[in-house]
């Protein structure tokens, strides 16, 4: 018997990847510096991004991209503020940059999948 594992839809890949990176980054921050806020934020934001990818794979593309838009928007603002206050690109500038890319992509996709208004 062959078991085929289907890849998630293309529009979910970014959110799964970004979610995994953010979660791992939060864990690394905790293990290297003992930063509980990094761990909590990484797991929370990463989990929400992975959840958005799951919504997209289940055919709820608008909801998934809308959730990811909110998550990446908050992540971008928080980490950009930290980057500008510290001047250190790692990790704040990198996360803000990745968040901004995710925000732009997910807003575009949410607008594409936005349900039609019925009058």
Q: What are the pLDDT tens digits along the chain (119 aa)? A: 556 555 566 889 999 999 999 999 999 999 999 999 999 999 999 999 999 999 999 999 999 999 999 999 999 999 999 999 999 999 999 999 999 999 999 999 999 999 988 76
**Strand extents, DSSP E, 28-109:** none
8 Å CB contact between 64 and 105 = no
8 token code pair = 């998630």
Question: Minimal CA–CA distance to 53: which of 3, 19, 102?
Answer: 19
Query: CA triplet 8, 9, 11: central angle to 5 degrees?
Result: 120
pTM: 0.90
Question: Minimal CA–CA distance to 16: which of 50, 63, 66, 57?
Answer: 50
């Amino acid at each position: 018997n062959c078991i085929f594992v289907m890849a998630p839809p293309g529009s979910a890949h970014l959110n799964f990847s970004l979610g995994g990176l953010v979660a791992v980054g939060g864990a690394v921050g905790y293990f290297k510096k003992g930063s509980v806020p990094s761990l909590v934020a990484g797991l929370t934001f990463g989990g929400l991004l992975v959840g958005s990818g799951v919504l997209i794979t289940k055919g709820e593309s608008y909801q998934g991209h809308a959730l990811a838009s909110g998550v990446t928007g908050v992540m971008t603002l928080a980490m950009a503020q930290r980057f500008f206050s510290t001047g250190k690109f790692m990790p704040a500038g990198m996360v803000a940059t990745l968040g901004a890319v995710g925000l732009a992509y997910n807003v575009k996709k949410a607008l594409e999948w936005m349900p039609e208004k019925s009058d």
